[in-house]
Structure 1
Amino acid sequence: MIGEIEKIIENKLCGSVVYGKGTGSIISIGFGDKIKRKVPLRNDQLTEESKNYTFELELIIYCCWRIRTSDSIILGWRDALCDDKMKEINTLSKRKVTGVKIDPSTYDIKIEFSGDLFLEIMCDITNDFDSDDNYIFYTKSNTYAVGINSSYLK
């Protein structure tokens, strides 16, 4: 799983970042080629592009995350209720993934983007109270999920 995801996502362009009202700190990031949806989404909170298109690779993050540069933190999952600050998440859009590291013991992910930006995902969901995985990564042929206590779900 680790090597597959690292290879699949590296050198892909970040095409979309979906966040905002009704999602709390959950974010969805699309990478690679844009694909027209067969049926548009009807969520009024989404842009027309997000309603009508998906991407070849989708990463949905439920656990804690942060966006940083090499010397400062720009934004974190706790900022989800601060609309002005959350707009900073758009800095990932249209940037190329230049590196991916997945910790084999925790499945935490560090994605490096062009322009000295990093997305760090820290798996912190340790019980099923919230009924969420830490994150789910969708490709055309596979779904990779990291669940409770950083367990890889097949």
Structure 2
Amino acid sequence: MPEVTSITGDALRELLNQLVGKTAWRSRAGSGTGSIFTLQFGSELLGDKTQGEFSLMVYCAWRIVKGNQILLSWHDDSDAALVPGLAILHEVQVVGIELSRWNDFAIRFANGLELQIINDLSLLRDFDSSWFIIHKGAVHYSVTPNNLILVESAI
């Protein structure tokens, strides 16, 4: 049975800093998913060519910006805009990350794009996670709408 513990923002930031230098690839979005999407980073996992060293899944509000311009956001149509729009992050290297005290998460890319993920803080949310990242297919780091950071790993 998996063990679930909580960690600090500093511990999550330490993990997320490992994204720097990794390349994004294989986003998934579209019909039936609304604004939810996944994005892979780093090398493919052995035995699973669909998942990277880091696998990000976003349920909350988000946007892709360049400078002061919003290029794409969670409000856009999932089939017509999100699928091709997320592909602009493919094969682009991460050059920086930022994690706020509210667990908003920004990923800066070498081409000047930035993926901004906004943790929709609310104790009234009816789902477990605003966003999560899986490391090496084994450890699941989840940011909750009430601003907890949970870690689940198989034992």
Aligned to 1:53: 50
Gaps in structure 2 of 5+ consecutive residues: 1-10
CA RMSD in angstroms comes to 1.8
Q: Does 121-130 or 63-72 show the bigger shift? A: 121-130
Aligned-pair identity in percent equals 28
The CA deviation at 1:142 is: 2.5
Cα displacement (A) at 1:149: 1.8
1:73 to 61, 70, 74: 70
Displacement of 1:153 in angstroms is: 1.6
Gaps of 5+ in 1: 39-51
- For 2:32, the equivalent position in structure 1 comes to 22
Alignment counterpart, residue 147 of structure 2, candidates 141, 145, 150: 150
CA shift, 1:80, in A, is 3.6
Q: Secondary structure at the match of 2:75?
A: helix
Q: Identify the residue that residue 94 of structure 2 maps to in structure 1.
A: 97
Corresponding pairs, count = 139
- Alignment of 1:139 with 2:149, yes or no, is no
Q: Distance in 1 between matches of 2:126 and 2:46?
A: 32
TM-score by length of 2: 0.81
Matched, 1:84 2:113: no
- Would you identify which runs of 4 or more consecutive aligned residues in structure 1 move more than 6 Å? none
The verdict on how the C-alpha distance between 1:71 and 1:148 changes in structure 2, with shifts beyond 3 A counting, is: closer
Bigger fraction of residues in helix: 1
Higher strand residue share: 2
Match of 2:42 in 1: 32
Q: Does 1:63 align with 2:60?
A: yes
Higher relative contact order (CA 8 A, sep 6+): 2
Going from structure 1 to structure 2, the CA distance change for 1:149 and 1:129 (only over 3 Å counts) comes to closer
Note the C-alpha offset of 1:127. Answer: 3.9
CA contact (8 A) 2:132 2:141 kept: yes
TM score, norm. by length of structure 1: 0.82
